[in-house]
Amino acid sequence: MKCQQCERPATFHITELTGGKPQELHLCEEHARTYLTSAPSGEAGGGGNMPPALGQQIQQMAIGQTAEELAQLDQQACPVCGITFYEFRSQGRLGCPHDYVAFQTQLEPLIVNVHGESEHVGKRPHRAANSSEMRTQLIRLRREMKEAVEGENYEHASELRDQIRRIETEQAV
Amino acid sequence: MELKELIQSSGEWLRGNGPEADIVISSRIRLARNLAEFPFISRATPQDRVQIERILHDAVITSNISTDLLYIAIDELAEVDRQLLVERHLISRELAEGQGRRAVAVDKAEKFSLMINEEDHLRIQVMQSGFNLQNVWQQINAIDDAVEQKATYAFHQKLGYLTACPTNVGTGMRVSVMMHLPALVITRQIEKVFRSLQKISLAVRGLFGEGSQAMGDFYQISNQITLGRSEEELVQQVNDIVPVIIDYERQARQFLIKESQEELHDRVSRAYGILRTAQKISSEETMHLLSSVRMGVNLGLISDLHIADINELFIHTQPAHLQKRTGGELGSADRNIERARYLRQYLNKEDGAQRAEKN
C-alpha cells in the first residue's frame, strides 16, 4: 500500500478516533511524523491562507473514503494545467478554470457543502460560456507547443501554433 | 495623478456622511474575475503574470471607467508605499505581499480599485461612505460590464464565474459593510451578535479583512456564500441584517447613557484627553481611544470634532501614513512618538480647515 500523501510505501497505519467518525490513515514514515507532530487537524488543508470554510470541507472529504480511493482521487491531474487534486487539497487553490471540469466529482460535494447550492443563478457575461471554455484550452495548447518545440518536434509545434492562432483570432476581443 | 497626492487627501469612503454614517463606516462590494486563457495565479508562470497584467491593463485603461485613473505597478513600489495602499483599503495584504508582476488601478476619489494578479487575476472593489449597498452594486456592475467587453472571463454554464478558490465561485462577489460597534463591545453583546450572524452564513472580520483583528471596535459583516443566489439577493441579505445590528448598537448606546452616563462621559473624555496630550502612543491604543472618542462625538458628548476627522485619524495614524508624512523610515518606538505628536497637533487646533494646510 502506498502512502496517502506521496509515492512511497505506507509503513504507518493510524486510526484517528478524535473528531466524529474514525478515520484511517496510511502514511510513509516521513508523512506520519509530520502528521503526528502537527496540530490535531494537521492532515491536509493546513495551507496558511486557506479560508476556514474550505479547510473544514477539505478535511471532511478525507473522512469516509478508503485510503485507496483517496490516493486515487489525489493523483488525478488536470489535463490543462497539470495540477493534481492532492496539490489543490493541500493549498486550497485551483490551478486553472478547467479544474472545475477535471475535478468535478471531487469538487461538487465540496462546493455544495460550502454554498448549500450547486448552480449559479446570478449575472452572466455577454460572451457565450463555450467561448470561455475554448479559450481555457489555450493553456493546454500553449504548453503542448512549448513542449513540442523543446522536443524539436517542429511539425507538431507548427500545427499547434495554427490551432492557437485560430482560437485567438476567431474570438478576438 | 501620482501616489504622493493620495497622502494629502482621504478616500471618499471616510468622509463620514452617508446614510447611518454614525455606525456604518462604509459599504463595499468586490468581484473576483479571471481571464479564461491563463492558469490561476498559484499556477501561473512569471511570464503568464506579465501577460495577464498587460491584457487587464489595456482592458481597464480602454474601458473608460474613469477619467482620472491612477495605475500603479505594485511590484515596483517600496514596501512603505505598498503598506500605505493597504492602510487606505485600496489593496489587500495579499496583493502587497505577493510575488511577481501585479498592479492596481485606483480612481482619484478612491471610490474603486481594480487589483490585478491578486488571488484571482482581477479583483474589482467599489467602496462608499455610509450604508448604501444598492448604489455600490450598480457602480461595480457597470465597471464589470465595461471590463468584460475587453476581456474573456473564465465562466462556466452551471458554476458561473470561475475563481481560484471554490469558496468564491458563482458570483465571485463579496458584499461587506464596515460597522463601528463600541457599545455592543462595552455591554458584552458582540459575541452574541456574531453567533447569530454565523447561523445565517454571514462572516464577521476585523478592520483589514480576513484574519485581521477587530481593532477600534470596527467589524466587517459580509456574505459567506457566493453560489446559488443572484447578486441582488446577496446584496439584499446583507442589506436586511445591517439595520438590525444598527438598532442593537443604538439600543446599547442608549442603555449606556441611561444607566451610566457619568461613566460613559468619563471614558470618552479621558480618551480624548490622552489623545490630545500623550507623548508616545501605540497604534493599538490610538485605535482603542479613537473608538471611544468617535462614539462620544456621535452621542454629543464631544462637540468640537467631526466624524470625518476621526475617520481620517484612524487611517492617518497607521505606520505607513506616519512614515510617509515624516518622509523617513521610523522604528516602532519612533513611530509612537511621531503618532502622539501628530495627534496633538491635529486635535489641539480649533479650526479644522487649518489642519489640512499645516500637515
CA distance A56 to B98: 25
For the ranges A113-117, B272-276, B313-317, the one whose mean pLDDT is highest: B272-276
Question: In degrees rounded to 5, what are phi and psi of residue B119?
Answer: -65, -35
Q: What is the pLDDT of residues B215-233, one digit of tens each?
A: 889 999 999 999 999 999 9
Q: Are strands B69-73 and B24-33 parallel, antiparallel or unpaired?
A: unpaired
Q: What is the pLDDT of residues A64-99, one digit of tens each?
A: 667 777 788 888 999 999 999 999 988 899 999 999
- Tell whether A143 is within 8 A of chain B (Cβ): no
Residue B223: beta bridge partners?
B202
Instruction: Verify whether the Cβ–Cβ distance A133 to B150 is below 8 Å.
Output: no
Section B150-172 average pLDDT: 95
If we measure between CA atoms, which residue out of B53, B226, B16 comes closest to residue B131? B16
- Tell whether B63 is within 8 A of chain A (Cβ): no
Q: What is the pLDDT of residues B44-76, one digit of tens each?
A: 999 999 999 999 999 999 988 888 899 999 999
- Tell whether B158 is within 8 A of chain A (Cβ): yes
Residue A45 has pLDDT above 80, yes or no: no
Comparing alpha-carbon positions, the chain A residue that sits nearest to B39 is: A96
Instruction: Verify whether the Cβ–Cβ distance B43 to A96 is below 8 Å.
Output: yes
Q: Are B126 and B140 in contact (CB under 8 A)?
A: yes
Section B239-265 average pLDDT: 94
Q: What does the pLDDT read at residue B359?
A: 41
* Min Cα separation A150/chain B (Å): 17
Q: What does the pLDDT read at residue B237?
A: 95
Cβ-proximal residues to B279 (8 Å cutoff; 6+ apart), any chain: B337, B340
Mean pLDDT of chain B: 91
Instruction: Verify whether the Cβ–Cβ distance B225 to A117 is below 8 Å.
Output: yes
Give the residue, A28 or A122, on which the prediction is more confident: A122
CA distance B207 to B179: 9
Q: Are B294 and B310 in contact (CB under 8 A)?
A: yes
List the beta strands (DSSP E) in A11-71: 12-16, 23-27
Comparing alpha-carbon positions, the chain B residue that sits nearest to A50 is: B165
Side-chain-facing half-sphere of A66: CA atoms under 13 Å: 4
Residue A58 has pLDDT above 80, yes or no: no
Q: What does the pLDDT read at residue B211?
A: 53
CA distance A147 to A26: 36
Give the residue, B12 or A173, on which the prediction is more confident: B12
Nearest-10 crossing angle of helices B332-347, B283-298: 20
Q: Are A89 and A76 in contact (CB under 8 A)?
A: no
Q: What does the pLDDT read at residue B142?
A: 96
* Min Cα separation A113/chain B (Å): 10
Q: What is the pLDDT of residues B69-126, one digit of tens each?
A: 999 999 999 999 999 999 999 999 999 999 999 999 999 889 999 999 999 999 999 9
Q: What is the pLDDT of residues B327-357, one digit of tens each?
A: 888 999 999 999 999 999 999 975 544 444 4
Q: Are B136 and B126 in contact (CB under 8 A)?
A: yes
Residue A52 has pLDDT above 80, yes or no: no
Residue B284: beta bridge partners?
none
Instruction: Verify whether the Cβ–Cβ distance B156 to A54 is below 8 Å.
Output: no
* Min Cα separation A12/chain B (Å): 32
CA distance A151 to A136: 24
CA distance B173 to B225: 9
* Residue A1 binned pLDDT confidence (cut-offs 50, 70, 90): confident
Q: Is B269 exposed, middle or buried (0-12, 13-18, 19+ CB in 10 A)?
A: middle
- Tell whether B214 is within 8 A of chain A (Cβ): no
Residue that has been written with the C-alpha cell 469516509 in this structure: A64
Residue that has been written with the C-alpha cell 508562470 in this structure: B45
Inter-chain contacts counted by CB atoms under 8 A, chains A and B: 148
Q: What does the pLDDT read at residue A46?
A: 40
- Tell whether A170 is within 8 A of chain B (Cβ): no
Q: In this structure, is the dihedral angle defined by the CA atoms of residues B288, B290, B292 and B295, taken in order, positive or negative?
A: negative
Comparing alpha-carbon positions, the chain A residue that sits nearest to B223 is: A115
Instruction: Verify whether the Cβ–Cβ distance B155 to A125 is below 8 Å.
Output: yes
